[in-house]
Amino acid sequence: MEQNQTPVQERPPEGVRLLPPEETPGPELPPKPSRPAKRPPRRGTRLSLPALAAALAVLVAVLALIKAADPFAPAPEESGDPGVAGIPEWIEIRLLPENPYSRPGDPLEQVNGVVVHYVGNPGTSAEQNHGYFENLASTGETYASSHFLIGLNGEVLLNVPLDEIAYCSNQRNADTISIECCHPDATGEFTAATYQSLLSLTRWLMETYGLDSGQLLRHFDVTGKECPRYFVQHPEAWEQFLADAAE
């Protein structure tokens, strides 16, 4: 430690001050205190290589941490191949990064239905639910995602390409497209804007994949789960939705 003090103070400060003391090659330094002042270039060269390497390593690590922790950083895939041709422009393509928990990348080889869900978290936005799916890639806390999220204002996000499976509808993941809808309160009833977007999206999917309204399902119809709650507690509202979709 003491031997290091003199050269550190006399040479140009940049690289060395970033170094933890134990990484400075102190024992290799000649003990004469007058040398550093007379021959700074040589000494500087010997010190700056490991110093720069260490500083760069620290910098890279810090930048990586900042990027990983920054919620406003753009997602690795802000857009991409939606997996189907002719996707309407009102669908925002926001593909999740491929990961085992929310976008496994397994092919969806056939589409025999559309399954409707509610997010079950009153007042949350499409953006927040999208962020939840995205974070699963790093938290790994569960397996969940939906192809689509519809927000309280009717915005439509595509999270998973339509030629890949999503983790939303249990035993029907392998042959259906899933839509999760946001809702303002615990009744699970959708806003008018959400309902209209659900209708538009469902009609487009029926046309694109040649489906009829008999192939529109509630999550409840697959597993018996109370999802989407309002359409389970109000079967007549679900029947109305099927009629609207068939128009």
Interface residues with Zn ion (CB under 5 A)? 117, 219, 227
Minimal distance, residue 217 CB to Zn ion, in Å: 10
Closer CB to Zn ion, 172 or 219, in the complex: 219
DSSP 189-243: PPPHHHHHHHHHHHHHHHHHHT--GGGEEEHHHHH----SHHHHH-HHHHHHHHH
Contact assessment for residue 116 and residue 231, using Cβ atoms and an 8 Å cutoff: yes
Closer CB to Zn ion, 149 or 227, in the complex: 227
Query: Which strand (E) or helix (H) includes residue 1?
Result: none
Closer CB to Zn ion, 116 or 245, in the complex: 116
Minimal distance, residue 219 CB to Zn ion, in Å: 3
Q: How far is CA 189 from CA 68, 211, 232, in A?
A: 36, 25, 11
Minimal distance, residue 62 CB to Zn ion, in Å: 41
The amino acid present at 184, given as its one-letter code, is P
Closer CB to Zn ion, 19 or 157, in the complex: 157
Minimal distance, residue 78 CB to Zn ion, in Å: 26
